Amino acid sequence: MNTADQASLTRRAVLGGALAGAGLIAVGGTAAASRKVRVLIATNEPWGTYHVEPLLAEAARRRWQLTQLVPDFSQIAPDDPVPTAVPDAAGHADLLVINGAEDWPADCAARFRRLPLVASSLAYLDPVEAARAKQVRPRLRAITSSSPAESRAFGEYLGTHRKIQVVGSPQTDALPQRAPEPGLVLVLTSVTHDDDTGDAAPGTELLLAAAEQLQAAGKRILVGLHPREDPALWSRYEISDVPSLQASARAEAAIGIPGTVFPLIAAVGTPVVGCTDPALTVPDYLLSVCSTTIDDPAKALSAVDKAQLPDQKTLADAVGPIGGSANRLLNTWSRAIRR
């Protein structure tokens, strides 16, 4: 076993061991039922089905039906694997899950006021109380997040001191085995332009210039596109045909605009460099997993060449438990239905 493999094994043991020792990693669902459980999900990004997709395999194993509520089908691809419905046609349901308290999920909560309600952080949110958080707080039967660090930010976002269940990220249930290719850098984009689904994240010009600097220095550039990013901006580079988390296993380092995937990529064993813009606001824990951050593309090469992983305590705090995360999340939803 080489040094990289030993580090990966140690990292996974640390991340998976904390909650396992407390008896919180379950291997079987508790929601077995004689009929199909139906869950409606409303996200801050109304058409952002990519937040729900990692849950589909566990839902199918349990014979659950997950349906994302959307305002209309204008931004849903015909081959999208996530079932969607407009509220008026959603039919019977056992639970409503919201991943935030912006207008769309808050409106859905008001529309389905008789359903049990759960808040689950499926993507990072700024630790500032949402304007409509007070409307959903009294109804919440459970709150979940992926990691201890995310739970602190999510609690502030919801304006609550209630206990938040740390379940891990379903995206880490099948982490790829790292096999870095010499000179390969993964560029992690965000969203350049606001749209009806969600806001943009500043920093794209900095990241584009950094990618140019890296390519000019001889690095191979592989782009991991945010699902809502405009691919035309990155057409001069190879664009990954697999999700960024999976692609990160090939890279010596990753560089991008800090987002939800940053801690997960660090969990794979690939160090990350953050591109930060004065207008960009992200929770501190996303910055904590960065080897460093840059605000000047001229610093990109040095930052990538010197990139290192965070210490294990920081990583465990930001990532949460690995393995069985989708199972733990749906277990929590199941208990909320039965309350």
Task: For residue 252, give the nearest of 184, 299, 175, 176 by alpha carbon.
Answer: 184
Confidence of residue 113 (pLDDT cuts 50, 70, 90): very high
Per the rule left: phi > 0, alpha: psi between -120 and 50, beta: everything else, 23 is left
pLDDT in tens, 139-198: 999 999 999 999 999 999 999 999 999 999 999 999 999 999 999 999 998 755 445 544
| Cα 85 to Cα 23, 50, 103, 227, distances in angstroms | 37, 15, 17, 20
Give the per-residue pLDDT at 339: 81
- Are the C-beta atoms of 333 and 30 separated by less than 8 Å? no
Higher pLDDT, 332 or 21: 332
**What is the average pLDDT across 263-284?**
92
228 — pLDDT class (breaks 50, 70, 90) = low
Residue 220 clears pLDDT 90, i.e. is over it? yes
pLDDT score of 199:
52
H/E stretch holding 325: helix 325-338
Instruction: Specify the pLDDT at position 10.
Output: 43
How confident is the model at residue 335, as a pLDDT? Answer: 97
**Least confident span in 140-149, 227-236, 246-255, 270-279:** 227-236
CA-nearest of 329, 336, 333, 8 to 146 is 329
Predicted structure pTM score:
0.86
The span from the CA of 335 to the CA of 328, in Å, is 11
Number of H helices, E strands in the chain: 12, 13
Q: What percent of the chain lies above the pLDDT cut of 70?
A: 85
Exposed e or buried b per residue across 22-51, where buried means at least 16 C-beta atoms within 10 angstroms of its C-beta:
eebbeeebebeeeeebbbbbbbbbbbbbbb
Show the 3-state SS of 136-152. HHHHEEEEEECCHHHHH
Query: Which region among 5-14, 74-83, 150-159 has the lowest average model confidence (pLDDT)?
Result: 5-14
CA torsion sign for 167, 170, 174, 175 is: negative
CB atoms within 10 A of CB 152: 17
**Strand ranges across the sheet with 140-145:** 84-85, 64-69, 37-42, 95-98, 117-120, 140-145, 165-166
What is the rounded average pLDDT for all residues in the chain? 88
In the chain, what is the straight-line distance between the N-terminal and C-terminal CA atoms, in Å?
48
| List of residues 6+ apart from 246 with CB closer than 8 A | 176, 240
User: What is the mean predicted confidence (pLDDT) over 324-329?
Assistant: 98
E strands within 4-139? 37-42, 64-69, 84-85, 95-98, 117-120
Cα atoms in the 13 Å half-sphere on the side-chain side of 275? 26
pLDDT at 124 over 60: yes
Q: Do 115 and 41 touch, CB atoms closer than 8 A?
A: no
Better-predicted residue by pLDDT, 191 or 305: 305
Q: Does 251 have pLDDT greater than 60?
A: yes
pLDDT at 232: 82
Rounded to whole angstroms, the Cα distance separating 314 from 224 reads: 24
CA distance 256 to 274: 5
Is residue 60 within 8 A of residue 6, CB to CB? The reply is: no
Predicted local distance difference test score (pLDDT) of residue 201: 55
